[in-house]
Amino acid sequence: MMLRWLLPLLLVVLQQPGASSQGGNDLKDIGTLYNLGVGIHDITGPVAGVNMMGYANPAQIAGGIHIRLFSRAFIMDDGINRLVFVSADLGMMGQLIKIEVIERLEKLYGDQYSYSNVILSGIHTHSGPAGFLQYLLFDITSFGFLRDSYDAIVEGIVQSIIRAHDSVVPGYLYLTHGELTDASINRSPSAYLNNPEDERARYEYDTDKTMTLLKMVAEDGSDMGVINWFAVHPTSMNNTNTLISGDNKGYASQLFEGTMNPGTVPGQGKFVAAFAQANCGDVSPNTKGPVCQNTGEPCDILTSTCDGKVHFCYASGPGDNMEESTHIIGTKQFDKAFELYNTQSLVPVSGPVQFIGQQVDMSNYTVNLADGSQNRTCTAALGFSFAAGTTDGPGAFDFTQGMTESNPFWNAIVNFIIETDPDQIICHDPKPILLDTGNYNIPYAWHPKIVEAQLGRVGQLLITAVPGEFTTMSGRRMREQLASVLTDEGIEPIVPVIAGLSNIYTQYITTFEEYAIQRYEGASTLYGPHTLTAYMQIFSDLAVAMARGESVDAGPPPPNMLDEQWDLLPGVMFDGTPLGYSFGDVIAQPYPFAYTGETVFAKFVSGHPRNDPQLGGSFLTVEKLLDDGTWKLIATDSNWNTKFAWERMSTILGTSVATVSWTIPDDTPEGTYRITHSGHFKTLIRGISSYSGVTEEFKVATMGSNTVPPQNREDITNLEEATGFLNWMRHLFGLQ
């Protein structure tokens, strides 16, 4: 079934004479000539010894990198107005990040960039470093705010925007959309089913399967970049993962960029591809669905439990392990986006660039309900089912989803902190309040009150920058309402997209009906049952003002609580080496001969990665020997085929080992290769210094080729275990 908001777009496709021809060349004449810029920069902060953001699992501590995290910036300018859209490989965007990014841009460029024309959106990976949000609740499992995590993100986002700014050239934009049906499932179907039947009947699926895609081409015909919005949680990597990763969306971006920038390592090419987040609130990538992992039986549908407990009920798939699932869901998104990018049904974008934004106090916003009565939003609070977690990552306690009754034991503990305000209990009904977070201010605010709402328009495209995770139906209602409001203002066709987790994080936004079921998403809808209705009102008012060219009140300024932040996580004390070794020494050489498809390992005496995140750099390289005797860079720590794993061997001696692995891609040319590792170590006297190490050379031959190994060899993938190397290391480094 066609969504109503897509119909205008389809009509345009049918009407455009150029629309059926191949490529951008003859289409460009009917689109507006914009000024366009794209930029990408690394935002990977501390990669070891810190909690990861997303599952709120204190045991999930980072210990290396699978792929790096990037900020991708896009500038669209009609000669009068300029809009910046940034999609960053983060769990979510943070208010403090936006405050500092705008401050820095103002220093560089004056009033060219501001709150209202810069949209910052997070993809929602659950495998990045935590500790970058200023409200206390979000930093509990990371033991507080982590300055190095925050600094890397701010610096990387600003650098990506600078690159976009410096790359601006005249160009054309094209819009299209398509369906990706087998990359997502609804993880709270019982809540979805509480939406009105006639509303549900208008949609074929219980999650949005539509990918909306914006293509950017320079006037000279060269490809510049692409943004697509598709709703799915980047939770293919589960809460046992310890390697930094952009998950399925970060990987999809690397696939697209790798294809368009052949011969480059991730983050270095000109073409930039963002796989931005949409209304992913109730959308899981774990398409095998939830199962009781202990028995193989289905979980209880209403509570997502097995024998009354959440621990064993979780979802996985479509692969046999999380890395394979990430690969599959990432590849599906890439394949669809690449197909759409090259499709014939691209619609040229034409019309003005506009934007509008406002800060709103969500703790008491008056909403006008359909029956003519009024109600209000509430000061933030979390329900009991929040603590149950989801089937993408169950919670640690005995809470289940679908709880509309409270638990006296927890009430007692929570009341010990501060008694729940009786008005709050009424306001949030039927949510039983576990944590009255909006009223907790010790040592500083636990949850936001001032929330940003923002819209950006480029011709037909309307980017709805929402401050959290809208569920499927919440997103549909918002898009539909905005399309209808703008149509009334004479702006059509309009293609609204939800840019999820933008500007500030306020967790979930369900519909009023889904809220009543109090699954995890409803329990995490912070401002009460009327949260969505309030946002629809706020964004509609903004849309009308934008259409009419009217300005709105900026609203109360967002608080900057940087100076109040607590950090209780100890930093790196010092690093040491075993007697007779230096930092960077290779303690396990790669096997001297390997076939493509095999994995080679190297181990190095290492320093703590938190000494320096090597922003924009890499902890490892794979290099190929050229005929002239120089070494060519083949891969970094951001390539899918490499892994950088770091482990402290002894806290007392400060010793650690970095393990680099490289799974040799099938198309790797035969030849001589080597692996390097670089990092920083810290001593009490000299502070932080850099080091690097390099392995011996090794030969790579194509699997199945006539090249025979120089000696008898085992399957080298198992070499690590075969040599008993790790045991030896543990002895050498002592105390483990």
| Ramachandran area for residue 629 (φ above 0: left; ψ -120 to 50: alpha; else beta) | left
| Joined tokens for residue 233 | 């949680």
The residue assigned the tokens 């938190």 is 610
500-532 burial by CB neighbour count: b if 16+ within 10 A, else e? bbbbbbbbbbbbbbbbbbbbbbbbbbbbbbbbb
User: CA-CA distance, 459 to 263, in Å (whole number)?
Assistant: 35
Tell me which stretch binds ligand NAG (CB under 6 A): 75-83, 177-185, 203-211, 315-323.
315-323
| Region of 185-193, 314-322, 562-570, 659-667 interacting with ligand NAG (CB under 6 A) | 314-322
Distance CA 345, CA 11 (A): 11
Which residue's CB is nearer to ligand NAG, number 57 or number 503? 57
Q: Decide if 559 contacts 549 (C-beta within 8 A).
A: no
469 is in an annotated binding site: yes
Using the rule CB under 6 A, give the single segment among 5-13, 145-153, 316-324, 579-587 that binds ligand NAG: 316-324
Rule CB under 6 A: which of 587-646 touch ligand NAG?
Answer: none
Taking the least distance from each CB to ligand NAG, the nearer of 373 and 630 is: 373
- Choose between 238 and 606: whose C-beta lies nearer to ligand NAG: 238
Q: Is 316 a catalytic residue?
A: no
What's the closest the beta carbon of residue 365 comes to ligand NAG, in angstroms?
A: 9
Using the rule CB under 6 A, is 25 a contact of ligand NAG? Answer: no
Nearer to ligand NAG, 60 or 121 (CB): 60
Instruction: State how far the Cα of 326 lies from the Cα of 26, in Å rounded to an integer.
Output: 38
Residue 112 vs 293, nearer CB to ligand NAG: 293
Q: Which two tokens stand for residue 455?
A: 């819209």
Look-up: residue for tokens 């798939």?
A: 317
Q: How far is CA 433 from the centre of its chain?
A: 28
Q: Does 672 bind ligand NAG (CB under 6 A)?
A: no
Does 21 participate in binding ligand NAG (rule CB under 6 A)? no
From candidates 364, 582, 683, 727, binder to ligand NAG by CB under 6 A: 364
The answer to whether the annotation marks 124 as part of a ligand binding site is yes
Contact flag: residue 736 with ligand NAG (CB under 6 A): no
SS3 of residue 27 by DSSP: coil
441 in contact with ligand NAG (CB under 6 A): no
233 known member of a binding site: yes
Q: Least Å distance between CB 169 and ligand NAG?
A: 44
Is the CB of 396 or the CB of 726 nearer to ligand NAG?
396
Q: Does 368 bind ligand NAG (CB under 6 A)?
A: no
Closest by CA position to 410, among listed 390, 434, 386, 392: 434
- Residue window 514-533: x/- pattern of binding to ligand NAG, with contact defined by CB under 6 A: ---------------x----
Dist. CA 244–CA 646, nearest whole Å: 11
Pairing of strands 272-277, 223-230: parallel
Strand locations in 78-137, DSSP E?
82-88, 118-122, 128-129
- CA-wise closest residue to 681 among 583, 570, 594, 592: 583
Asked if 718 touches ligand NAG (CB under 6 A), the answer is no
Q: Which is nearer to ligand NAG, 94 or 529 (CB)?
A: 529
With vertex at residue 283, the alpha carbon angle to CA 281 and CA 284, rounded to the nearest 5 degrees, is 125
The reply on whether position 366 binds ligand NAG by CB under 6 A is yes
> According to CB under 6 A, which one of 121, 238, 481, 510 is a site residue for ligand NAG?
238
In degrees to the nearest 10, what's the CA dihedral of 684, 690, 695, 696?
-110
Considering only 197, 201, 263, 373, the residue that binds ligand NAG (CB under 6 A) is 373
Locate the DSSP E strands across 583-734.
Answer: 586-588, 593-595, 599-606, 620-625, 631-636, 642-650, 655-663, 671-683, 687-694, 698-701
322 part of the interface to ligand NAG, by CB under 6 A: yes
Cβ–Cβ < 8 Å for 508, 468: yes
Least distance (Å) from ligand NAG to the CB of residue 247?
13
Confirm or reject binding of residue 429 to ligand NAG (CB under 6 A).
yes
Nearest distance in Å: CB 364, ligand NAG: 4
Q: Which residues pair with 48 in a beta bridge?
A: 63
Minimal distance in Å, beta carbon 369 to ligand NAG?
A: 8
At residue 442, what is the residue type?
Answer: I
Residue 621 C-beta: closest distance to ligand NAG, Å: 27
Task: Determine, following the binding rule CB under 6 A, whether residue 712 of this chain makes contact with ligand NAG.
Answer: no
356 binds ligand NAG (CB under 6 A): no
Place of tokens 């289905």: 298
Per-residue DSSP letter, 224 = E
Query: Pick the catalytic residue: 245, 284, 385, 661?
Result: 284
710 burial level (CB within 10 Å; 0-12, 13-18, 19+): exposed
Q: Does the footprint of ligand NAG cover residue 239 (CB under 6 A)?
A: yes
294 binds ligand NAG (CB under 6 A): no
Is 251 annotated among the ligand-binding residues?
Answer: no
Position 404 contacts ligand NAG (CB under 6 A): no
Q: Which of 15, 22, 25, 240 binds ligand NAG (CB under 6 A)?
A: 240
Q: Is 314 in the site for ligand NAG (CB under 6 A)?
A: yes
Q: Which residue has the tokens 């405050």?
A: 99
Choice between 377 and 606, CB closer to ligand NAG = 377
Question: If 0-12 CB within 10 Å is exposed, 13-18 middle and 19+ buried, where does residue 641 land?
Answer: middle
Minimum Å gap between C-beta 376 and ligand NAG is 6
Please give the size of the binding site for ligand NAG, defined by CB under 6 A: 15
Under the binding rule (CB under 6 A), the answer on residue 295 touching ligand NAG is no
For the annotated catalytic residues, the residue numbers are: 284
Give the binding site for ligand NAG (CB under 6 A).
238-240, 314, 316, 321-322, 364, 366, 373, 375-376, 426, 429, 529
Binding site listing for Zn(2+): 124, 233, 469, 508
Binding site listing: 124, 233, 469, 508
